[in-house]
Amino acid sequence: MKKKTRTTITCTISYVSLVALLLVVLFPIIWMFLASLKTQAQIQSMDNLLIFKPTFDNYIAVFTGYDFLKPIINSSIIATASTLIGLIIGLPASYAIARFKQKKLSLTILVIRFFPGITFLIPWFIIFSRLGLIDTYLALTMSHLLINLPFIIWIMVPFFETIPREIEESARVDGCYTVTTFWKIILPLASPGIITAMLLSFVFSWNNFVFSMVLSGGRTKTLPLAIFNFVSYAQINWGALMAASVVITIPVLILAFLTQRYIISGLTAGAVKG
Amino acid sequence: MILGDSRDLVTGVAKPHSSLNSGESMRFNEWVEKHVRQIFTLPAIFFVIVMVAFPLVYNIVISFRDWNLSSYAEPSWIGLKNYSSLLSDARFWGAMWRTLAFSFSAVVIETILGFSIALFLNRDLRGKNLTKTIFLLPMVATPVAVGMIWLLIFEPTMGLANYLLKGLGIAPQLWLTTRKTVLPSLMIIDIWQWTPIIMLISLAGLAVLPKDPYESARIDGANSFQILNMVTIPQVLPTLLAGVLIRLIDALKTYDIIYATTQGGPGEASETLNILGYVLGFSYFKMGRSAALIVLFLVTVTAISLIVLFLKNRTDKKIEV
């Protein structure tokens, strides 16, 4: 009996601390949502932090006053393009690394994953300027590939390695070419890995700030840059800034909720294998 | 849907490729089959050469030049002068010191916190999956937006941070707006954002631990602290260190959060190597100097990674013995 009360107490303590922990993690995000529904005066007063009459004016302002639609479209185009091209280049390369033990290529890709993005800013800026490609979707897509391609390969190589060789060998006996086997058998089997790689590389590209700072301009301004530009106004319109932040994070948060298992395996891959 | 498709395809494999059996395409297919390794890797190699290798070499070339984009003067060759002047520049060393201090302090705290939380969660708790999902959110949320959220929280007159301090009876702080507290404030953001990755990696490492050592330790009468110290930590260490290495390199590269909230200020108080590199290149337009800084930055990151890798290999070996 005594032991039972003790376990109940430890159990309660566990759940209370768990909830407290989750609140700490979630609070900044909740705070963003709340502030996006407040007026500037409500944000500035500290009297009613949680209870207030919500307003959608900030969201309306974001789309009418600050022209946010264009950056949303730009970010979507660039993230989609760089993810698709990343998959087209990255999937065969990962398969080759997994099956034909292309050690040098895999090491190179791994190293690129760790380069600071700023490493390439100066040379890219000069090269793309000379080619007249500054402020084009092409330059931005190419630059985002630097993040997406190594990431896709990093996720997919271990994934392809887990697919049993027997499946391919039996296909080969049946007279299938490697390309056909890859396209018709391996890729469908690898679809959970491909989904992980696809979603995360879309997110990374959507979130990218530093490349857009240098390579984009008026025509191709991406969302993170558009949000950053809010701060340069003399007085920060906090409500609109938070509404803009909600607009940019919502798709990412929804993706995270829908596909959390894939994403966790993707983000922790590599480390756990040692 | 996807699973159904793949099954059909697997069973449909044995069908002969009737359309491909004519001479011309047959020869083409044989050729492709023979060179399939090269064909599969060529696009990736091409990308690496064009977008990585060539720019890297070009960056080194630029670093030997005096190249100011804001003047019409032709870039001139000045050898190692960019490097020597950087190495004797207090601003460079300040940035170097801040980069190291920021990264190491943040990662140490993240490791301790993340590992402790993982130990706490490593049991049958209801809502564990939801917890993991919630922990994902700071990591995947757009960094610039995260910066903006914290800019509001840290706002000295209307921010939540000072409101909470007031509730605890502590004097309000200036957070991101003063030299003394700007780096610790940025660390708080980094810790909020990245403790989850250490937590998730540790949790994944803990999940694959074998059960036997625990049972024998318990039979030997070890208490839970001894079990943690002698059984759990040594076994998770390789995984944890791999996570720490990844995190450390990413922390050295931190850019978005700092630039979005302080742009390296106030003054130069939060100017890391990354930020200084950007400022030199794109605010002062000193291409050569910025390129030289980037080379030195890369050397630093590589050296630190090698040291951590060396330490990791040594612990790996110890565990095998």
Exposure string of B191-211, with b = 16+ CB inside 10 Å and e = fewer, is bbbbbbbbbbbbbbbbeeeee
What is the per-residue pLDDT for A125? Answer: 93
- Tell whether A56 and A156 lie within a shared domain: no
**How far is it, in rounded angstroms, from Cα B278 to Cα B284?**
9
- Total structural domains in chain A? 2
Q: Which domain holds residue A20?
A: 2-60
Alpha-carbon span A166 to B250, nearest angstrom? 39
Q: Sort out which chain B residues have CB atoms less than 8 A from A66's CB and list them.
A: none
Instruction: Please name the residues between 164 and 183 in chain B that touch chain A, using a CB distance below 8 Å.
Output: none
Residues of chain A where predicted confidence (pLDDT) is lower than 70: 1-4, 48, 232-234, 269-274
Smallest CA–CA distance, residue A242 to chain B, in Å, is 7
A184 touches chain B (CB under 8 A): yes
CA distance B63 to B80: 8
- Identify whether residues A13 and A94 lie together within a single domain: no
CA angle at residue B120 from B116 to B122, to 5 degrees? 115
> Cβ B52–A116 below 8 Å, yes or no?
no
User: DSSP strand E in chain B: where?
Assistant: 65-66, 76-77
Whether residue A210 is found in the same domain as residue A261: yes
Interface test with A, best of B27, B140, B195 (most A CBs within 10 A): B140
pLDDT for the residue A74: 94
Kindly report the pTM of this predicted structure. Answer: 0.88
Same domain assignment for residues A199 and A170 = yes
At B214, the amino acid letter reads: Y
Q: Is B41 exposed, middle or buried (0-12, 13-18, 19+ CB in 10 A)?
A: buried
Q: Is the dihedral of CA B113, B116, B122, B124 positive or negative?
A: negative
Once rounded to an integer, what is the mean pLDDT over residues B101-120? Answer: 95
Q: Which of B133, B136, B153 shows the shortest C-beta gap to A28? A: B153
- Do residues A32 and A109 share a domain? no
**Quick one: residue B207, left, alpha or beta (phi over 0 = left, psi -120 to 50 = alpha)?**
alpha
Quote the pLDDT of residue B22: 65
Q: Closest chain B residue to A36 measured between Cα atoms?
A: B149
Q: Could you give the CA distance from residue B139 to residue A182 in angstroms, rounded to a whole number?
A: 33
Question: What CATH number does residue A80 fall under?
Answer: 1.10.3720.10
Contact B148 A112 (CB under 8 A): no
Domains along chain B with CATH numbers: 20-63 (no CATH), 82-320 (1.10.3720.10)
Residue B145, phi then psi, degrees to nearest 5: -65, -40
| CB proximity A32 to B under 8 Å | yes
Q: Does residue A274 sit within a domain?
A: no
User: Phi and psi dihedrals of B4, rounded to 5?
Assistant: -60, -45
CA distance B62 to B24: 50
**A273 is a domain residue:** no
Backbone angles phi, psi at B274, to 5 degrees: -55, -50
pLDDT of residue A87: 96
Task: Answer whether A231 touches B (CB < 8 Å).
Answer: yes
Residue A85 counted as domain residue: yes
Give the N- to C-terminal CA distance of chain A in Å, as an integer: 45
- Among A60, A77, A98, give the residue marking a domain's end: A60
Of A26, A176, A224, the CB nearest to B144: A224
> Could you give the CA distance from residue A248 to residue A203 in angstroms, rounded to a whole number?
11
Strands (E), B170-270: none
> Are A106 and A16 contained in the same domain?
no
A248 and chain B in contact, CB less than 8 A: yes
Nearest CA in chain B to A202: B140
- Most B CBs within 10 A among A47, A119, A216, hence the mutation to make, goes to A119
Query: In this predicted complex, what is the ipTM?
Result: 0.89
pLDDT tens by residue, B264-282: 888 889 999 999 999 999 9
Q: Is the peptide bond before B266 cis (omega within 30 degrees of 0)?
A: yes
Query: A96–B55: do the CB atoms touch at under 8 Å?
Result: no
Q: Which of A26, A42, A60 is the last residue of a domain?
A: A60
CB-CB contact of B181 with B175 (8 Å)? yes
B157 close to A (CB below 8 A): yes
pLDDT of the residue at B61: 93
**Would you call A123 and B278 a contact, using CB atoms and an 8 Å cutoff?**
no
According to the model, what pLDDT value does residue A234 have? 63
Which of B51, B150, B305 lies at the smallest CB-CB distance from A114? B305
Dump pLDDT digits (tens) for B209-237.
887 888 888 888 888 888 888 888 888 88
pLDDT value at residue A270? 58
Query: What's the gap in Å between the CA of A180 and the closest CA on chain B?
Result: 9
Quick check: is A210 in a domain?
yes
pLDDT of residue A137: 94
Average pLDDT, rounded, for chain B: 85
pLDDT tens for B155-203 read 888 888 888 888 888 888 888 988 889 999 999 999 999 999 999 999 8
Closest by alpha carbon to B263, among A199, A8, A232? Answer: A232
A143's enclosing H/E stretch is: helix A137-161
Q: Are residues A55 and A109 in the same domain?
A: no
